[in-house]
Amino acid sequence: MPDELLFPTSDDDLLISVYQKQGRTLDDLPYTDAFETLYTSMYGDEGNAPSRASVFHRLHNLRKAGKLPRMGRAHGERPRITPDQEALLAAKVEQAIGALSKRDQLLYTSAFEELCTAFNSEAGLELSRHDIWRLIAKLAK
């Protein structure tokens, strides 16, 4: 008889559980210590661990399927930018990925890093990757 787990769980169930413990909304999670905690809790230093982008993508799919619990509001306030800076950011996203609706494909990529550097430079700001992500997430809503 094969070994059976005492408490069988799927990877998705475990990911959802670890996500809940972080106490952040999905849109507020990228580029935070909470995401890093989630990632290392799930995969540690495994050499064959999935990329951070694929882990976020899995969480996003779980949310679409109605399997992620609602976590309330994002932590803190989203940074404020001018309408001109918002237009610049939207243009940078579209230049990088083609359309605002594809914004989630930017996370944890070199294109996002380049976008952050260019936006901060051109807008005269010093926003973190997390803050820029929160602004991008709001753009398409």
Q: What is the DSSP string of 23-91?
A: ---TTT-TTSHHHHHHHHHHHTT-TTPPPHHHHHHHHHHHHHTT-SPP--SPSSPPPP--HHHHHHHHH
For 3-16, the pLDDT digits (tens) are 554 444 578 999 99
Segment 101-121 shows an average pLDDT of 96
Q: What is the pLDDT of residue 141?
A: 65
Average pLDDT of the chain? 89
| Residues above pLDDT 70, as percent of the chain | 92
For 55-66, the pLDDT digits (tens) are 999 999 999 999
The structural domains of the chain, with segments of one domain joined by +, span 11-64, 83-139
Q: How confident is the model at residue 45 (pLDDT cuts 50, 70, 90)?
A: confident
Tell me the whole-structure pTM to 2 decimals: 0.85
Q: What is the pLDDT of residue 8?
A: 47
Q: How confident is the model at residue 96 (pLDDT cuts 50, 70, 90)?
A: very high
